[in-house]
Chains A and B, each alone.
Chain A
């Protein structure tokens, strides 16, 4: 049961909460820029390495930050009593889930665009494919972060615990995504693990855009897998939103 009106007003409400928090917005926009610039100076004489790492980072930043923002935001709804109250109103679970996805997805789109603009225009990032695809994949990855954040927030009682899920969920995926060691050079069991991590496919899709002027079948397959995991995580997330609690 979904209502367009409730979905729209809930999305607006989440965005307003975000807009009131100027410091979070500043951090959201500035941190990726600073880190990206840092990478640029680290690899000043190795354009190829910078290209590869910067591209991966364009996917990693929105995923990480949106995972954190969503898991804390939803945890607050759960612990502050607002979620319990919302469940006594006509709002449906899907309204809340999709509103989170859309609101944080929009925030991620802004973040990814700003970071990508910096990387392409000032830091000479070079990809064979268009920047538009890079941003699209980055935003998809951000929505993946939202969906996983929503799901994992169910396993945290406090904000203290929620932030600790970040390294648990994000770091292994980044480590095994091919950032440090190419996946086909890893031990078989590590590669097998990386095969079930959605981040692996997001990074692979970005690499495809980096290497090919036109979209490739592999990119579409990768993107499809990430979208599939988003849907799965949202369904699992919905299952953790209980109208009746003990």
Chain B
């Protein structure tokens, strides 16, 4: 099986607005896929549909051959929400340890994961006393602690300094090399170059699904920001 996630004709409404229009896409196994698009494009909604917490109007989302949200999938998925969702009245270690325990894992895995996100010096600190960037790394640790097969990360690098961001991307790369499937959203185009595949999303529709190189080639520019712009304009021209 080449694809870890298959999305077919997904329609999602929030309130009276349709936020995803007939989205179809595949996310390949064992690679890092970047989900890129401006704020409000539907990135988070798509990710929530994949992890199975989004009410959908129609269409199918299949993860590792099972419908998204199936009980069997819950041991194999890691999900990082956009705003850090950790218990601010617990320490970093207590948070990670708790999420580890949900997967039947213990102290070793907890400590290893904390080191992996670079929070070993803050392990005993209450989350409420951390900086924004540290807090989101604490949240990231909770998403990675079960060694999930499918990792869905909603803007994991926001607010991190460049050195840390680089380290985190290396970490994601390592996870994919070890066989995990990663879907990482970002609204920073320069992060797209670090992905194996890209899904560009705008106004609830996928406008590109290819490798970064192919996206740039199709748009005829080396700059991904510019490529995104040209793809959008190209579509609008077709629509009219």
Question: Which residues of A come within 8 Å of B, CB atoms?
Answer: 1, 5-6, 9-10, 12-13, 16-17, 20-21, 80-82, 84-91, 243-246
Q: Are A84 and B81 in contact (CB under 8 A)?
A: yes
| Residues in A whose Cβ lies below 8 Å from that of B14 | 246
Q: Assess whether B11 is interfacial by the CB under 8 Å rule.
A: no
Contacts A84-B53, A90-B74 given; indicate if A17 touches B79 (C-beta within 8 A): no
| Residues in B whose Cβ lies below 8 Å from that of A17 | 87, 89-90
Q: Which residue of B lies closest to A84 (CB)?
A: B53
A-B contact number at CB 8 A: 77
User: How far is A100 from B207 in the complex, measured between Cα atoms in Å?
Assistant: 45
**Which of B87, B90, B142 has the most chain A CB atoms closer than 10 A to its own CB?**
B87
User: How far is A88 from B63 in the complex, measured between Cα atoms in Å?
Assistant: 13
| Residues in B whose Cβ lies below 8 Å from that of A88 | 51-53, 74, 77, 79
Known: A85-B79, A88-B79. 19 other contacts (CB 8 A): A1-B71, A6-B102, A9-B102, A13-B90, A20-B90, A84-B85, A85-B142, A87-B52, A87-B53, A88-B77, A89-B99, A89-B103, A90-B102, A90-B103, A91-B102, A243-B53, A244-B54, A244-B69, A245-B55
Instruction: Write 13 A-B pairs (CB below 8 A) sorted by A numbering.
Output: A5-B104, A9-B101, A17-B87, A20-B90, A81-B83, A82-B86, A85-B142, A88-B52, A88-B79, A90-B71, A90-B103, A243-B69, A245-B54
Interface size on B, residues (CB 8 A): 35
Q: Assess whether B25 is interfacial by the CB under 8 Å rule.
A: no
Q: Assess whether B165 is interfacial by the CB under 8 Å rule.
A: no
Query: In the complex, which residues 71-123 of chain B have their Cβ closer than 8 Å to any Cβ of chain A?
Result: 71, 74-75, 77, 79, 81, 83-90, 94, 98-99, 101-104
Q: Assess whether B126 is interfacial by the CB under 8 Å rule.
A: yes
Q: How far is the CB of B146 from chain A (nearest CB, A)?
A: 8
